[in-house]
Structures are given as structure tokens and as C-alpha cells.
A and B are shown apart, each in its own frame.
Chain A
Amino acid sequence: MTTTAVPSTERSVPKPAFTDAEAGAKVFPDSDARRYNYFKPAKRKQSHYEDVTVEVQPDPRHYLSQGWLYGFADGKGGYPLEWTALRAWGSDRPVPERYAGSGGAGYEWPAHGWHEFRDPNEEWELTLYRYNSNVVRQLNQNIEAARQAKAFDQWNRNWVQFVAQHVGAWMHVDHGLGLYLFANANRRAPTNMHNNAISVNSMHRIRAAQDLALYNLTLSEEIEGFDGGAHIQTWNSDPAWQGVRETAEQLTSIWDWCEAIFAANVVFEPLVGELFRSNLVQQAAPSNGDFITPTLIGAEEYDFAERDLRYTKPMFHLLVTDKQFGAENRKLMQQWLETWVPRCVHAARTLQPLWSQPDAKPPRFEDGLDRAKSRFSAILSELELTAPKELGQ
């Protein structure tokens, strides 16, 4: 046996050095100033959420001394406050003028009321990935368990068709609003707190759409004769869905970002979304042998009721009770209600034929609509708004 001498070469690696650069190693001015100091927290102590969110999107009224650097063709840069007709106190303060020797100071924090909004869900990346991962994991497990238990065999034929057509059709609402209303709105609001909350809302909707689409795919594989494309035809041409579709499309066409969020989350979701999910699918599924669809629909219901509506309410409540523009804002929101409530009630009513399609019938449509209206009225009262007369239609 021979051995070959391996030339010893020193590897080129960085040399560790003891620098003692850890907190507390020395005392000097600012040595224990370990708080982000450029904003005032909403509560006594600043939260982790605030630390990673507040002021990332700058405002020329605060510290942005040189102003926005790039503008659209009309010369407007950044996030103009006039992208919504609602106003928060201080919105009428001009951006500080800059000129030779002007200095760079802006208004004292928060400069205007938009910066007072905090997302009660405190969403940032850690929370949003945890939450949505939990949802998709649980849904996958539910579907897999149902598949293994051959639970889909228990569905009656009409219910199979109902899920293919109507539960399937709802995915289009989620997808359209998720992308073209919510994701679109994440470019429009004047603070990072608003836009991050809106972008998370967007992902809830897009995820829910995909949850339904992939569920549909599983059903196509598991149930003989399940028509995986029926949802498209239903969405395109079933008269029962055209009111919802028209309203959903109209929601995506709103120019004002606040009106878009308001119309979607305050009006459309309680009157149409919850009506369909909680007062139809959830009620009808069990008696038709289906325990699995409610878990998907329930996940989306939780997204809306416990997350998306949860940020929407303080966002608009702040504006309704704004110390400077509250009355104007309330008036405008009432106008929005007058516009959107009849549209949404009409959309809800066009869905009525769905209630008679399952073999085991859900509670009456009118009862469901009453519950949806009652829930909607409660939301309005939390926002200190009044239900418009059109709600009675």
C-alpha cells in the first residue's frame, strides 16, 4: 500500500475576531436607545408589528425632505391623498415647500390622521405565512381524509352538481376581487399600514379562489361524472350568477381605493359573500352528506369575518370619527351605501334559485337574507353609519 503525500495548503477563510460589539459593552450617548424613535406607537409600547411596518412608506409631510423623486406623467409622485375622496385630519395641510435654504423639516408626527391606522391583525410576513400555511395544510388534510374515507360517495347527485356549478362559481368572485380590487388597491393608500393590510386581504381572496379550484380538481378525480368545468359555464351564463358577476365586475371598476375596499368588505361581503357561504353552502352541505365543502368555505368565512373585516372596521371607523373630516366622510360613505346596497341586494336576490337546487334544502332564502342584512346592519352600527332604505329591497 502506498500513500501519496497531499500538499498542505492553507484554506482561505475569514479569520474570526473578537470585537466585543454587543449591546451594553460600553456606555456612551445613545448606547441604550434601542427603540425605533421616528413614530409614536398607538399604545403605550410600540409593537413588533409597528416596528416592521410604520413609516416604511414615506410621506413628504414627515421626513421626506427632498420630496418624491419620480412622478407620473401628471407630475404626481408617491401616494397622493386625493386617490380617495375620504379625508383624514390634516389631509388639507400642504406638503412643505422646499427652496434654497428652506431646510428639510416636515410636520410633527403623525402630520395627518391617515398615519393613525393600525391593522388589528398586526399582519406582517411572519403572521401572514403562518396563518395561510395553517389554512392550506388543514384544508389539504381535510380533503385527503375525506378522499380516503370515500366521503364523496355519500353525496347525492344533485349536490355533486351543486358543488361543481355553484360552489365552483364562487372561485371567480374570489379571484377577481383578490387580484383586480384588493391587489390593485395595495398601490393606492397613503400609508404602509393600509397597503400591507390590503395586500394580505388580497392574498386571502386569491388563496381562497385557488383552494376552491384545486378542490374542484380533486373532485374531478374522485367523483365519477363530476364536471370540473361546470363552474366556468355557470359563471359565464347561468342567470342566477349574473347579478353577482355584474356586481363583482363593477367593484373592480371603482376608481377610488377607499370606496373599493368599503364596497367590497362592508357591503358586498356581508350581503352577498356571507349570504352565499354561511347561509347557503354551510347550511345545505351537511344535510346533503357533505362535511368537507364546509371546511373550505368556513376557512374563507374566517378570513373575512375574523381578519379582513377586522381591519376594515377600524380603518373606516377612524375616518367616520375623524376630528376634522368625520362628518364629510360619513356623508360620503352613506352615499356609497346608497349606491352599493341596492346593487348587492340585487346580486343577492338573483342568487335565490340556488336555494331550491339541493335535495336537502337549506333554510329559506329570505331567512338567510334577513340574517345577512341583520349582520350587515350590525357592522354599519359599529361604524356609526346608518343602513340606507335600499336595504329593504
Chain B
Amino acid sequence: MSRQSVAKAHQKIQELSWDPVYHEPVSHYGTDYTFRKAKKKDPLKQVLRSYFPMQEEKDHRVYGAEDGAIRGNMFRQVQERWLEWQKLFLSIIPLPEISAARAMPLLFRTVPNPELHNGQAIQMIDEVRHSTIQQNLKRLYMNNYIDPAGFNSSLRNFQNDYCGTIGRQFAEGFITGDAITAASIYLTIVAETAFTNTLFVAMPAEAAANGDYLLPTVFHSVQSDESRHISNGYATLLMALSDESNHQLLERDLRYAWWNNHRVVDAAIGTFIEYGTKDRRKDRESYAEMWRRWIYDDYYRSYLVPLEKYGLTIPHDLIEESWNQIWNKGYVHEVAQFFATGWLANYWRIDPMTDADFEWFEYKYPGWYDKYGKWWENYNRLATPNGHHPIVAENVDYVYPHRCWTCMVPCLVREDMVMDKVDGQWRTYCHEACRWTDVEAFRPTYQGRNTPNMGQLIGAREWETLYHGWNWADVVKDMGFVRDDGRTMVAQPHLDLDPKKMWTLDHLRRMPAVQSPNVLLNQMTDDERAAFQADYNRQGPAGRPAPAQV
């Protein structure tokens, strides 16, 4: 390597930038933030001369481990329960990664600091690394794990599955709308700085405990790049804070980004960690404990709170409410139960919970069995086809939930569900914070201030509406979640690969048609809708119908 010090080399490459005198670079993206030119430093001082060999060396280690795992027959010890959930996770995550690469140009014209642009360009290629290294890991799983179904159709499935759609926010939120909201606050300040801890550190630890040491190998290698990305975000945030007119927007964006990340990431990663593991040692941390350590203590208390002195308004209430959702309101358990309820609309197999799992949940989350135990016993009872429907169409004291229009996770903590009529349509929201996001934050004015660059929530945001009135067999076929015999489903509510125990499209034909909760909601009269909401808010936990009123 070069004999020049990194600091000196980094100082030298600052000479590369120049102010245009003949033509301004194109400005494709807008922001409502204002920035003054400032010489904020890139604290990591990365130069490509050392960057490329460093990444190559990391690659050597990753690919060496992958070869070793195959030679050592790692898959003889991998827990299927765990790897099945990777069909969902690894179908989602390459898109957020590559979207982060695509997001970097949003900052070039909006953040006037060439030193940071250098860091952003390196982040761009880091993200290309992450996306393709993860696609490669999935390919390895597909080639070497017992059941390739779901891995082999991964990127088709992810794009039309409702879980994939929930996860897709974690990508699209980076690349559209106000450039700073998207590429800085949502991506680097919240998603990367806070939630990659659970994604790329906590979850790989769980993988290792389930016999899979490749996920940790790949994702720890990925995570080692994140510190640079966090620095990019921090420097931009400090620049934004130096202009007081940005404070109102920062407050808005932190609220939106925090809450959406909590809703999306905690739903997915919480489920993978708590319901995808076979490791039920009681001294193992639960997701709630990990969250408290990685996110509450390390991010909120150590990173965010100190920024208050610079004028940042921190959404203390939403952070406490997120904890309340996870610890007191069973958010992760409600989500896992819903994913298992809708197993037939997915593309991975969901293992029933056993007595060992029940005991662990009860130990970690006292009162869990009373809320969720009975339902999981029913799930187990209905796992193999035996003249009954999949659990979603059986009477197991579970009311199919409405979707949240904003985060697209269903409104599972029933008491929190709120409604609003927006753009002529009645919409349900899982929480007031999600209603606020749609109705107030993602609008061209915010608290009386013009915000012409703010993005919009678009798309067909309620999956069930697409299939309103359809037979379930046709739904699954339309999505393509069928194996190569043309009838056996990719998804199964158990891990038994005996074809006689696997569900087929034929089993679904007898089910009642899919009904879109949102279509039905909009058909109600005002009185019916009010009664519906009152009833909904009294439902739960665990999706139970509202108790009869006396």
C-alpha cells in the first residue's frame, strides 16, 4: 500500500472538486430543506486506493466461508424453520440495498458539500456490493438447501406478495420524495443508524444459533460498511441543523422515518428472530431485549438524545410508544400470528410452534400463552390438509384485520386502529402516527408551510383489494406461488416435505372468496362504519373478536 498517510491522501483528494463556472450540474431532485455551504468533514476519510483492496479482502473471507460451508455440509445442520424465513428476508433485502445506491445522487445537488459527495459515491458502490452479495447468498441457499422453492422464484414473489410490499417501503422510502427526507433522514439517520443493528447484527446471531453461519458471514461483512454510511448521514444532519428553518422539517421527518421503520423492520425482523428460531435457551435475548439494547440504548439514548443540544426535536413519544408496542402490546407476536394466518398467500413454509417454544415465549413475555397459545395450537392442529380449510378460513377466534394504508402492516393492535377519509376514500391506519404520516406529513403543505418537494404515498396499497372476490386457488396461481407439479403450493404451514402432507391448489378451491376489508369498509354507511370501528377497537389481543357487550 501507499506510504502516504490516509489523512494526507484524503486531504489531497479534496482538491478534485471544483465549482462550475460555465454550466450547473443538472438538478433532478428537490428538497424543502435549505443548506448553506459548509466544510463538514467526512470523518472516515476513505480513499479508493485503500478502499478497493479492503473490500476485496472482505470478499475473500466471505467467499472462503461460503466454500467452506458447502464443503462442510453446513446444510445438514441448518434449521429449516430458520431458513424458510430467509426466503422472505433475502427476497426483500437486495432491493433496499440497491435503492440505497440509487439514493445517493439525491444528495449531490441538495447538500452543497463536495467532501461528503465523495463519501456518498463510496456508499453507492458499497450498496451495489451489498445487493449482489446478498443475491449470491440466496443463490447459494437455493442450490444447497433442501427446499429451493421460494428461493428460486424470490424476486417475482417478493414483488407481488403482501409481505414483500411491506418490506419494499424500506427501499422506496430512500429514493423518492424530498431528497433529504428520503436519502438522508429515512435512509441514513434512521434506517441505517438505528435499524441495521437488528437487521445485520442481531439477526445473524440468531442465524448462527440455527446452524447457519453464512448469513452472519455475509451480513457482518455488510454491516462493516454501515459505519461509513452512518457518518455520511450524521454530517448531513449537522449541516441541516445549522439552519433553523430546517428544524420543523427535521422534526416531521424523524417522526415519519422512525415510526415507519419501527412498523416495518420490527414486524419483519422481530418475527424472524422470535418465530424463526429453534434455539430456545432462556438466557438468549428475546427480540424485545435486543431492541432495548441495540435501538433504545445504543441509538436513541447514545446517538439521538445528544443531538437535542443542536436543536433536534426528537420524537421521544414515538420511541417510547414503539417500545410500548413491542413490550406491552405484543406487536411482534401479532405480526407473526398474522403472517402465519396468511401462510397460504406467501412463498415460504412456517413451522408450527411447539411446547418448547411456548415455554420460552412465556418465560420471555409473561402472559404470552394466554394470549397466543391457543391460536398456535389451532395452527398446529390445522397444519396438514385433512378435510378442513387453511386456518384463515377456520373459526379460531381470529378476525381478519384491516390494512394500514400507510405502513401496510395490518392494524393488529386493534385498539389503536384509526380511520380517516382521504382523497375520497376511507382508509384504516394501524396507529395515529401512520394516519398522521398519510394525512399530514406526505402533503404539499405541512403545518401551514409549503412543502412542494414532499413525496406522495402512491400505489395499490391494500393487497386484498387486487383479489377482491377471487377464489384463493386462483390468487395463489396468479401470484405464481406454485411448485413445478402445477398444483402443490410453495407455502406450507408446516415443514413436512412428504407430498401427501402438502397443501395444493385443490385444497383452496373450496374456500370462500377473498374479501377486501377496504372495499367492504367503503361500502358501509356512516353509522355502520362507526359501529365497525367501535367493534374493531375492542378486538384482540391475538385477533380475538370483541367480547360481547353486556
Contacts and interface: CB of A to CB of B under 8 A. Distances in A.
A and B held together in a complex: yes
B94 interface: yes
Interface in B173-188: 173, 175-178, 182
A393 interface: no
A202 interface: yes
A196 B124 CA distance: 10
B46 to A, nearest CB: 10
Interface string A152-169: 000000000000000000
A73 B459 contact: no
Contacts of B393: none
Interface in B47-76: 47-49, 52-53, 55-56, 59, 63, 73, 75-76
B253 interface: no
Interface string A97-130: 0111111110000000000000000001110111
Contacts of B169: 69-70
Contacts of B172: 68-70, 77-78
B497 A26 contact: yes
Contacts of A125: 55, 59, 128-130, 132-133
A16 B75 CA distance: 12
A103 B484 contact: no
B211 interface: yes
A217 to B, nearest CB: 4
A65 B93 CA distance: 18
Contact of B497 (A28, A38, A172): A28
B490 A199 contact: no
Contacts of B95: 56-58
Contacts of B125: 128, 199-200, 202-203
B102 A36 contact: no
B52 to A, nearest CB: 4
A28 B502 contact: yes
B278 interface: yes
B442 to A, nearest CB: 9
Contacts of A217: 4, 8-9, 12
Contact of B76 (A12, A19, A195): A19
Given A21-B78, A29-B488, A172 B177 contact: no
A175 B488 contact: no
Contact of B281 (A12, A34, A137): A12
B150 to A, nearest CB: 9
A231 B15 contact: yes
A312 to B, nearest CB: 18
A42 interface: no
B156 to A, nearest CB: 4
A56 B144 CA distance: 21
Contact of A186 (B124, B148, B176): B124
Contacts of B168: 58, 69
Nearest to B19: A236
B455 A71 contact: yes
Interface string B463-475: 1011111100000
Interface string A172-195: 100110111001111110001001
A353 B519 CA distance: 73
A33 B152 CA distance: 7
B453 interface: yes
Contacts of A23: 75, 143-146, 148
Interface in A131-162: 132-133, 135-137, 140, 143-144
Given A29-B499, A213-B15, A255 B26 contact: yes
* A interface, size bucket: 35 or more
B417 interface: no
B121 interface: yes
Contacts of B59: 125-126, 129-130
A74 B208 CA distance: 45
B17 to A, nearest CB: 7
B13 A214 contact: yes
B105 A17 contact: no
Contact of A101 (B3, B139, B467): B467
Contact of B20 (A133, A192, A249): A249
A32 B15 CA distance: 56
A203 B156 contact: no
A66 B466 CA distance: 8
* B interface, size bucket: 35 or more
A319 B435 CA distance: 45
A73 B21 CA distance: 30
Interface in B1-37: 1-4, 8-9, 12-13, 15-18, 20-26, 28-30
A382 interface: no
B255 to A, nearest CB: 17
B23 A252 contact: yes
Which of B103, B159, B478, B480 is most buried by chain A, counting CB atoms within 10 A of its CB? B159
Nearest to A64: B159
Nearest to B106: A187
A58 B164 CA distance: 12
Given A104-B479, A140-B1, A255 B458 contact: no
B49 A126 contact: no
Contacts of A91: none
Contacts of B15: 213, 229, 231-232
B191 interface: no
A89 B379 CA distance: 48
B22 A70 contact: no
A107 to B, nearest CB: 13
B456 interface: yes
A136 B49 contact: yes
A102 B466 contact: yes
A55 interface: yes
A140 B53 CA distance: 12
Contacts of A289: none
Contacts of B153: 36-38
A72 B455 contact: yes
B48 A206 contact: yes
A223 interface: no
B98 A192 contact: yes
A31 interface: yes
Contacts of B142: 34, 36
Given A17-B211, A30-B147, A36-B139, A211 B49 contact: yes
Nearest to B499: A28
A210 B31 CA distance: 30
B313 interface: no
B135 interface: yes
A75 B30 contact: no
Contact of A33 (B3, B453, B483): B483
27 contacts: A14-B211, A29-B502, A33-B152, A33-B484, A52-B139, A56-B98, A58-B159, A65-B463, A66-B160, A66-B461, A67-B458, A67-B460, A68-B172, A69-B458, A69-B459, A77-B172, A103-B478, A125-B59, A126-B136, A129-B56, A129-B129, A130-B59, A137-B53, A206-B118, A207-B48, A252-B20, A253-B25
Given A124-B128, A130-B59, 10 more contacts: A29-B149, A72-B29, A72-B176, A73-B455, A125-B133, A175-B17, A186-B124, A195-B102, A214-B12, A249-B22
Interface of A: 12, 14-26, 28-38, 48, 51-58, 62-73, 75, 77-78, 98-105, 124-126, 128-130, 132-133, 135-137, 140, 143-144, 171-172, 175-176, 178-180, 183-188, 192, 195-196, 199-200, 202-203, 206-207, 209-211, 213-214, 216-218, 221, 228-229, 231-232, 235-236, 245-246, 249-250, 252-255, 260
Interface of B: 1-4, 8-9, 12-13, 15-18, 20-26, 28-30, 47-49, 52-53, 55-56, 59, 63, 73, 75-80, 83, 94-95, 98, 101-106, 108, 117-118, 120-121, 124-125, 128-133, 135-136, 139, 142-149, 152-157, 159-160, 162, 165, 168-169, 172-173, 175-178, 182, 208-211, 278-279, 281, 283-284, 408, 444, 452-461, 463, 465-470, 478-480, 483-485, 488, 490, 497-499, 502, 516, 519
Nearest first, the 9 closest Cβ-Cβ pairs linking A and B are A38-B156, A22-B75, A29-B483, A30-B149, A63-B159, A52-B135, A175-B16, A67-B459, A125-B129
